[in-house]
Structure 1
Amino acid sequence: MLLLLLTTAAVLLALCITTDRPADRSNVTITRTDGDTHEGYVDVTGGRVWFRIVGADSPGTPLLILHGGPGATHDYLEPLAALADERPIVFYDQLGCGNSDRPDDPALWTVVRYVAEVGEVRQALGLDRVHLLGQSWGGALAVEYVLSAESDGVESLILSAPLLDADRWVADQRAHLAAFPEEIQEVVREAEATGNFDSPEYQEAMAAYYARHVCRTDPWPECLNRTFEKISLPVYLGMWGPSEFTCTGTLRTFDVTGRLAEVPVPVLFTCGEHDEASPATMAYFRSQVPGSELKVFKGASHEHHLEETDAYLATVREFLSRVDAAQ
């Protein structure tokens, strides 16, 4: 392992993924390199975001990963690094999250700023041609970005259990909750009425809910535990709200379904049979995007990439290969 602080002139040589997009070399600092894996920071509006590139020397079009939350981290998506044998896989922690800076400024936790951040990361790393994979909230971010004026060069979207309509998301969670015993439903209702989300009863209710609809493996994968340990509550509370069942933050009116038909690139939707983002909702979203595809993983839930990793990676790999071949 070799630790380096590279000069700005050498940054893009180290990344080895520069394309025709002019990179802003002054905004990138490499802090670690190990073979074809590089880590560092990109300066963005409001602070610095941490990134990791796996397979920087791989020949294919890079895949940029947008994590969920809001307020989560890249850690739980680490199994996607297995795709680096074919293409660079680029992870980053969004501002306020994980290894990135955590400024104390709620004004930064907006869709508009996070969309701009995707562009800033692409510009800094020279990602001219790129595929985007967004999971959960990251799916909202991916769609908003590809519909923006700065999205030239995005070649496809993979939307894993995406949040595309806040009201529909809440409705799905309420429907899931209704299938639980009445005592669990009452605990949730009381917590939301009183604002006391710290009670042992509420934590037990959430553990039961997560075990059915977030990740059904027992025990949870270590990478998912790391994400939950590092989750940024200020970002989650500011953008979403006190629980999965209630949205009070800046995403409370979020709904991009009316613009899905405008998405100009191939789209693959994925979800689990028991996903927070229900198969019925994903089928509706797929119907709004001409030519898009949907893969539902039986027996899995929101983290279907962790529950059915081999099948998920094979699905993503095959989709990206088809898109690349069509270019």
Structure 2
Amino acid sequence: MPRFTRMVPFREHETWVQITTPDNPRPAALPLIVLHGGPGMAHDYVANIAALADETGRTVVHYDQIGCGRSTHLPDAPTDFWTPKLFVEEFHAVRTALGIESYHVLGQSWGGMLGAEIAVLRPDGLASLTICNSPASMQLWVEGAAELRAQLPADTQAALDRHEADGTVTDPEYLAATEEFYRRHVCRVVPMPKDFADSEAQMLDEPTVYHTMNGPNEFHVIGTMRHWTVIERLPSITAPVLVVAGEFDEATPATWQPYVDHIPDARSHVFPDTSHCTHLEKPEEFRAVIADFLALHDLAADARV
């Protein structure tokens, strides 16, 4: 598949963008813009979604959100710089620079939360939104994480509790206990796929965004997003929405059900025997479900024109 990259100006900074185009474009197929998670995990771990370019005949756009990956890093930015509003603005800066007017959005984890933040504003041209493995509220996320932690071995739970209380979350014992949670509920592929390892490595190398907005890991959420919720704004979304999750996802059903309950045109799909990185665990099945949803709403968008 033809693929090229470019830098897009954003405020006084730059956002790295990758555009994958199909060998055989389908005229009615609208471009798909992919939003990675974290915040701050870069695009690498969702890179395989680019295969939808050839599989569906559409352009697929990835970008590294500001503060991570190949985009401008801002380790000295003040805490209040890092807000959902910043990333909504960056999304539209990228879209506008690429000349994209009608489009689909797919967001994974934090990317799905960002997708919801974009969709509640009812932007022109949004044909559909796919929310993958994402909570509608961080309070629900924390509650779900607590339920999953309670299922870990007693010694693992004790290590997590002890080091969090002591503030020693970089201790090797704590990190090993964290990995046990990740193996169960984040990515069940062994060994960990290289794409995920690459995203994790760059985040650990420059953790400003992740640590500021989230915290030290997926289940100890003490960052600025701790009280985030979009639930009360979900009825404003008019675009069709697909919500997907894994059977063993750290995004438990209670965390994503509000999307289905409060968005007028929303449906859900749960992938058996997968966790938070469904797209890495069952990539072909994942892309097939997404492809069907996108094709359905390509037609709807085409009919509106």
Deviates more, 1:291-300 or 1:243-252: 243-252
**Which residue, out of 85, 110, 126, partners 1:154?**
126
Which of 35, 40, 52 aligns to 1:71? It is 40
| Aligned counterpart, 1:221 | 193
Q: Does 1:246 align with 2:231?
A: no
Q: How many angstroms apart in 1 are the aligned matches of 2:129 and 2:6?
A: 25
Q: Does 1:116 align with 2:89?
A: yes
- Summarize deviations over 1:8-42 as a string: whole Å, max 9, x none: xxxxxxxxxxxxxxxxxxxxxxxxxxx73120100
CA–CA separation in structure 1 for the residues paired with 2:258 and 2:96:
33
Name the structure 2 match of 1:55. 21
Match of 1:218, SS state, is coil
Alignment of 1:73-152 (within 5 A): 73-85=42-54, 86-103=57-74, 104-106=76-78, 107-148=80-121, 151-152=123-124
CA RMSD of aligned residues (A): 1.5
Cα distance in 1 for residues equivalent to 2:85 and 2:258: 25
Contact 1:272 1:279 in 2 (8 A): no
Partner Cα distance (2:81, 2:254) in 1 = 33
Alignment partners' CA distance in 2, 1:229 and 1:245: 18
Q: Quote the sequence identity (%).
A: 38
Task: Write the letter of the residue equivalent to 2:217.
Answer: S
Tell me the CA shift for residue 171 of structure 1.
0.7
What is aligned with 1:207? 179
Distance of 1:50 and 1:100 partners within structure 2: 5
Query: 1:245: how far off?
Result: 2.6
- Equivalent pairs counted in the alignment come to 292
Give the match's secondary structure for 2:152: coil
> Residue 297 of structure 2: SS of its match in structure 1?
helix
What's the secondary structure of 1:117's corresponding residue?
helix
Output the CA distance in 2 between the equivalents of 1:112 and 1:146: 12
TM-score, normalising length from structure 1?
A: 0.86
Instruction: Report the CA distance shift for 1:47/1:56 in structure 2 as closer, same or farther (over 3 A).
Output: farther
User: Are the aligned partners of 1:282 and 1:294 in contact in 2 as well (CA < 8 Å)?
Assistant: no
Q: Decide whether the 8 Å contact of 1:115 with 1:144 is kept in 2.
A: yes
C-alpha distance 205-39 of structure 1, shift in aligned 2 (>3 A): same
Contact 1:239/1:251 (<8 A) preserved: yes
- Quote how far apart the aligned CAs of 1:199 are: 1.1
Letter in 2 for 1:99: R
Look up the equivalent residue of 1:36 and give its one-letter code: P
Alignment of 1:230-241 (within 5 A): 230-231=202-203, 232-241=206-215
Say if 2:255 is the partner of 1:281: yes
What SS does the aligned partner of 1:73 have? Answer: coil
The amino acid of 1:293's aligned partner reads: R
Paired AA for residue 297 in structure 1? F
TM-score relative to the length of structure 2: 0.92
Runs of 4+ with >6 A deviation: none
